[in-house]
Amino acid sequence: MKKFFTTALVVMLPLLMLAQGWPANFNGVMLQGFYWDSFNETKWPKLESQSDELAEFFKLVWIPQSANCGGTSMGYDDLYWFTNYNSTFGSESQLRSMINTFKSKGIGTIADVVVNHRKTINDWVTFPAETYKGVAYNMLSTDICRNDDGGATLSWANQNGKSLSNNNDTGEDWGGMRDLDHKSANVQKIVKAYVKMLIDDLGYAGFRYDMVKGYSAEYTGMYNAYSGTEFSVGEYWDGNQAAVKKWVDGTKVDGVVQSAAFDFPFRYVIQAAANNNRWTNLASSTKGLNMDNNYKRYSVTFIENHDTQYRDANNQQDPIRDNVEAANAFLLSMPGTPCIFLKHWMDYKESIKQMIYVRQLAGLTNTSASYNMANSAAQNYYAQRTVGSRGAVLVAMGNETYTIPASFVVVASGTNYRMALSKTTETAWVNKPSGEYDAAIAVTLTAVSQTEGAKLVYTLDGSEPTASNGTKVNDGTTIDLVGNTTLKVGLLIGNTVSGVITRHYTIDTSVFEPYQITVFLRDPTVAPNNWSQVNFFSWDDTSSPNGGWPGEKITTTKMVNGVKFYYDEYTIKSKDYVINFVFNQGSSSGQTEDVTYINKTSFFEIATQTNKYQVRDITNEFLPYLEGIKGDVNGDGEVNIADVNAIIDLILSGNMDPKGDVNDDSEVNIADVNAVIDIILRS
C-alpha cells in the first residue's frame, strides 16, 4: 500500500507543479495576435511567417478560438470542439504547422477557450455530436442552464418537448448562445477532454478563458488542474480590483491558484491618464493586481483588446484614443505580464520593439518590485521605477519637467514618455530595433554603464565582438548600415567585453514594381455544382476591384492541362497588398466562403456546400502547367518524343527559342535533346 501511494505521488507531481495558474518570475511578453475582424492579418500561415520576428520579442502569442464555427467568425460562437479545425483563419494542418513552428522558436501559443456558452445546430438546444479518439462527446439539452437567455430557452424547450438542466447558471447570463451548466457531470467531462486535447494533441501552451463571469471560478480551476496547463488567464471584465482578486482566488484547487486574470483595473487607470493627458492619475496604478505583492504574479496587464478597440463609427467601443505609444511604454515598464495588442504592434512596431528591449535588458518580470518616483505635488508628469534582475527601468510620463536621475540613461522616448535604463544594467544599446527597412539606416550606439568613458565594440557580420575582434568606438557613435546586417555591440571596459546585444537588419532598397496576378476558378457551371453563371466579387482594404456586390460576371475562360477555368486578372499594387474573393452566381444564394489574402496567381475549385460553398486551393496542382513544364517544348502538357522532335526542329532552323533551352546553357542544341530524353526516361 505504501509503495502504491509513493508511485501515485510521483506520477501526479508534474501535473500539480504545472497547474499553477501562471509562472512566478515570468519575464516574457504576450502578443494578442488578433483584433476584431482580423481575418486577413490572423491567417495561420501569415502569423507563422512572422515567427522569427515574433520570437525576438514575445514568449506567448494568444490566437483566436481555432475550431470551425459554421461560417466566418472570430470564434466566440464556438460550435465544434474536437472534430473540425478548418476555421476562418486556416486549415487544421496550417494551425498545427503554426503552433509547431512557434514552439520551435520558443513561442507558446495561447488558445482562446470559450466554454461559458456554445452554439447549437438545427434548433435552440442541439449541439454537434463529436467522436474523438473513439470516445463520443455529446452535449445534451439537459446541459443547458435552466435560466438561460432570461428564461426564453426554457419556454422554447417546454413548447418543443425538450428538457433543460435543473440548475441555474453559476454566473452571469448571456443571451447570444446557450449557457452551459458547469455543474453537469457531462459538461465537466467534455470540457476536461477538450482542454486536455488542446494541450496534448494540438500543442497549445495554455489558455485564455473567455467571459469567465459567466460561470463560477471553481470550474476554471477544475479544468486547469485536469489539463496541467502552465499558463491560464481569465477574462474577468471588471475594473474593481477586489472583484478580480476574488475571481483569481476562486480558481484555487487544494489551496493553489489555477489561473491569472487580465488586469482590467490597471487598464482603466492607464486609459484615463492617456485619454485625458492627466499623468498624475497613474499614481492610481496601485489599484491594479500588478502592484499587489500577493497577486502580481497573476496579473496579465494590457491597454487594449478586441472588445475595447475602436472598430468603426458605429462600433466605437471603449478604446485608448490618445497617447497609445506612451500607454504601451508604461505597460512595459511595470510588473505583471504585459499583453500587447496586435493593432498597436502593427502601427507602432518600431517603438514597441524598443520598449520590449528595455524590459528584457533590465530583466523585469511579472513579480518585479516597482516604486512611485513622482513628487506628490507633480501636476503634469508621473514617474515609476521598476527593478529587474539585471537593472532597473525608469519611465517618466507626461511633460519633461521631471529630471531623470544621473544614475539612469534615457534609451527610448516619444510623445509624453521617456524610458531609461539604470547604469547598473551594464549593456550596450542601439537606437534602431531589429526589423525590415526600405532604405539605408544610421544607428547610434550607446553605453549604459557605471564606468565613465566606457567604449563600445561592434561587428557587422554576426561574429562575437571582443577586445581584438570588431570596431572600437566611443559612446554616442553613429554608423551607417546598408544591406542585410547582423549587428553585435558590446561594452568595452579595458579589455573586457560585456553587455553584448544583437540586432538583425533587413535593408531592402529596391523599389516595388506592381505586378499582375490571375485568379482561376475551376468551371462550376458543370456537374456537380451546375452554376447558372460565374461572378467574382473581390475587395481589398479600400475598394472592390470587381465592383459592388455581387461583383463582375466572368466570361473569360482558359484551358489549363485540359481543365476549363474562369479567370480574371488583378494588379498587386504594393508589397503588403492583398485581394479577397467571394465567388458566386450573381446572388447571395449560392456563394462561396471568403477566400482571403491572395497576392499571387492562384487556382481554386468549389468543393462542398454547407451554408456556403467551401473552396479548395488547387494552385500547386495546376500552376506548373500554366507556367510551362520544363521539357514540354511543344506545349502539349506532356514531355514526350514530340518535344525531342520540336527541339531538333529548333536546332535545324537556327531558332534560339528559349523554350527549347531545357538545360539552361543559353543555347538550343543537342544537349537539350539529351536533357528531354532524360526527363522522359525518369518519368
Q: Give the CATH number of the domain where residue 582 resides.
A: 2.60.40
CA 621, CA 18: separation in Å to the nearest integer?
Answer: 45
3-state secondary structure of 519: strand
- Nearest Cα neighbor of 247 from 231, 261, 268 is 261
pLDDT (0 to 100) of residue 318: 92
Length, in residues, of the chain:
683
Distance, CA of 43 to CA of 89 (rounded, Å): 4
User: Is the residue at 406 inside a domain?
Assistant: no
Confidence of residue 427 (pLDDT cuts 50, 70, 90): very high
Mean per-residue pLDDT over the chain, rounded: 92
What are the E-state strand segments in 224-310? 231-234, 260-262, 299-301
Question: Is 386 exposed, middle or buried, given 0-12, 13-18 or 19+ CB atoms closer than 10 A?
Answer: buried
> Does 606 lie in the same domain as 637?
no
Q: Taking the CB of residue 641, how many other CB atoms lie within 10 A of it?
A: 10
Q: How far apart are CA 124 and CA 115, in angstroms?
A: 17
**pLDDT score recorded for residue 20:** 76
Please give the share of the chain, as a percent, with pLDDT higher than 90. Answer: 76
Min mean pLDDT across 10-19, 21-30, 191-200, 269-278 is at 10-19
Cβ distance 420 to 393 under 8 Å? yes
What pLDDT score was predicted for residue 50?
Answer: 97
In whole angstroms, give the CA distance from residue 422 to residue 450.
9
In this structure, are 14 and 97 located in the same domain? yes
Residue 637 is predicted with a pLDDT of: 60
pLDDT, residue 346, reads: 96
User: Looking at the DSSP assignment, which residues form a beta bridge with residue 564?
Assistant: 559
Question: Residue range 322-343: average pLDDT?
Answer: 98
Residue 1 is predicted with a pLDDT of 35
Lowest mean pLDDT among 139-148, 169-178, 628-637, 672-681: 628-637
pLDDT of res. 328: 98
Whether 464 and 600 share a structural domain: no
Distance of CA 376 to the CA centre of its chain: 41
Q: Does 125 reside within a domain?
A: no
336 in Cβ contact with 288 (< 8 Å): yes
- The amino acid present at 123, given as its one-letter code, is D
Dihedral sign of CA atoms 461, 467, 472, 475 in order = positive
For residue 400, tell me if it sits in a domain: no
| DSSP E strands, 26-143 | 30-32, 60-62, 108-113, 117-118, 130-132, 135-137
Q: For the sheet containing 557-560, what is the strand order?
A: 557-560, 563-572, 515-522, 602-609, 613-617
Confidence of residue 683 (pLDDT cuts 50, 70, 90): low
- What is the CATH classification number for the domain harbouring 475? 2.60.40.10
Tell me if 396 is assigned to some domain: no
Query: What is the per-residue pLDDT for 13?
Result: 38
Cβ–Cβ < 8 Å for 578, 49: no
Separation between Cα atoms, residue 456 and residue 421, nearest integer Å: 17
Query: What are 493's three cell numbers?
Result: 571596459
CB atoms within 10 A of CB 624: 14
Compute the distance between CA of residue 140 and CA of residue 186 in angstroms, rounded to an integer: 8
Instruction: Kindly tell me if the per-residue pLDDT of 7 is higher than 50.
Output: no
5 pLDDT band (50/70/90 cuts)? very low
Q: Which amino acid is at 162?
A: K
Across residues 531-556, what is the average pLDDT?
93
| Phi and psi at residue 155, to the nearest 5° | -60, -45
Note whether 569 and 548 are same-domain residues: yes
Handedness of CA 339, 343, 346, 350 (dihedral sign): negative
Dihedral angle over CA of 669, 674, 679, 680, nearest 10: 110
Asked if residue 288 is part of any domain, the answer here is no
Burial class (CB in 10 A: 0-12, 13-18, 19+), 388: buried
Residue type at 83 in one-letter notation: T
- In this structure, of 151-160, 228-237, 459-468, 657-666, the range with the lowest mean pLDDT score is 657-666
The position carrying cell 479544468 is: 223
Q: Are residues 109 and 241 in the same domain?
A: yes
209 touches 261 (CB < 8 A) = no
Euclidean distance between CA atoms 270 and 285, whole angstroms: 8
Q: Domain range for residue 569? A: 515-621
Task: Indicate if 559 and 609 belong to the same structural domain.
Answer: yes
Kindly report which listed range (30-39, 191-200, 656-665) carries the lowest average pLDDT score: 656-665
Last residue of a domain, one of 262, 280, 306: 262
Lowest mean pLDDT, pick from 145-149, 436-440, 458-462: 436-440
Specify whether 632 is located in the same domain as 614: no
The crossing angle, in degrees rounded to 10, of helices 241-250 and 217-227 is 50
- CA nearest to 48, candidates 107, 125, 115, 130: 107
Phi then psi dihedrals of residue 267, to 5 deg: -60, -45
Same domain, 11 and 98: yes
Task: Name the percent of the chain lying above pLDDT 70.
Answer: 95
On the question of pLDDT at 671 being above 90, the answer is: no
Question: Same domain for 44 and 90?
Answer: yes
Among 136-145, 390-399, 465-474, 633-642, the minimum mean pLDDT is found in 633-642
CATH code, 82: 3.20.20.80
What does pTM read for this prediction? 0.82
Report if residue 143 sits inside a domain.
no
Q: How many CA atoms lie within 13 A of 489 on its CB side?
A: 28
**pLDDT, tens digit, 9 for 90 and up, residues 268-288:** 999 999 999 999 989 888 899
Tell me the three cell numbers of residue 655: 531558332
At 471-495, the pLDDT tens digits run 999 999 999 999 899 999 999 999 9
546 with 647, same domain: the answer is no
Helix segments in 60-151, DSSP class H: 92-104
pLDDT at res. 171: 97
Residue 360 within a domain: no
Same domain for 9 and 75, yes or no, is yes
Instruction: Please choose, from the candidates 48, 53, 50, 88, the residue with its C-alpha nearest in 3D space to the C-alpha of residue 68.
Output: 88
Confidence band for 610, pLDDT divided at 50, 70 and 90: low
For the four alpha carbons of 155, 161, 167 and 172, in that order, the dihedral sign comes to negative
> Residues 617, 642: one domain?
no
pLDDT digits (tens, 9 = 90+) for 190-205: 999 999 999 999 999 9
Residue 550: asked if its preceding bond is cis (omega within 30°), the reply is yes
The domain boundary residue, chosen from 571, 599, 621: 621
Final residue belonging to a domain, choices 227, 262, 297? 262
Question: How many folded domains does the chain comprise?
Answer: 4
Identify the band that residue 652 occupies on the pLDDT scale cut at 50, 70 and 90.
Answer: confident
pLDDT of residue 83: 95
Check residue 380 and give its pLDDT: 86
- Spell out where 288-356 has E strands: 299-301, 337-341
Q: Supply 645's cell numbers.
A: 522532335
348 part of a folded domain: no
User: How many helices and strands (H and E) does the chain possess?
Assistant: 15, 34
200 SS3 class = helix
Cβ distance 509 to 438 under 8 Å?
Answer: yes
